[in-house]
Amino acid sequence: MSFTFSRVPIGSVADQLQVLAEREYDEVGQKDLERLNVDWARYRELDAAGKLATFIAKRGSRQMGCIVGYAVFVVQTHIHYQDALVAANSAVYVVPDARAGRVVLKLLRYAEIGLKGQGVKKVYYHVKREKDFGRLLEHLGYQDSERMFAKVLGPEQD
């Protein structure tokens, strides 16, 4: 089966991405918050402002294919380096039955080309421990440069 890749306005595929986001949440989502509740309106606002880049992978043709994966980035100048446009990965997911055949690798490379063409100087990914794709990122030339820690603040904290 062949796959195609494209950059799209997020509003044009939000319904399809919601279905995939739910699959991603079931597979690797952080269940320490109440539930998945994607702010599609905010994504659309970022897109309209030129601060979002959405890349998709489809099984089949560009026009008739079924979306099997996405890579979404928030694109803006870095607060510490105001002359550097950076892209922070908001979400990346490919359905399990499409992961063979280097689809994830090709999607991320396609996204890099698009981001570079937009003037992005640096790309950041956060990687969940439960689905660590760091080796793939290292293969693409990324460095493990920071760790992210998270804590849910509940009523028991002072």
Mean pLDDT of 68-92: 96
Rounded to 10 degrees, the C-alpha dihedral 18/24/28/29 comes to: 0
Higher pLDDT, 1 or 81: 81
pLDDT band at 100 (very low <50, low <70, confident <90, very high): confident
Higher pLDDT, 156 or 17: 17
Bridge partners of residue 6, in order along the sequence: 56
pTM: 0.90
Tokens of 86: 């950076």
Tokens of 78: 């870095």
Cα–Cα distance measured from residue 87 to residue 78, given in angstroms and rounded to the nearest whole number: 9
pLDDT in tens, 113-124: 999 999 999 999
Architecture of the domain spanning 3-139? 3-Layer(aba) Sandwich (3.40)
Domain ranges of the chain: 3-139
pLDDT in tens, 22-64: 999 888 776 777 788 999 999 999 999 999 999 999 998 777 7
SS3 content of the chain, % helix, strand, coil (to 5): 35, 25, 40
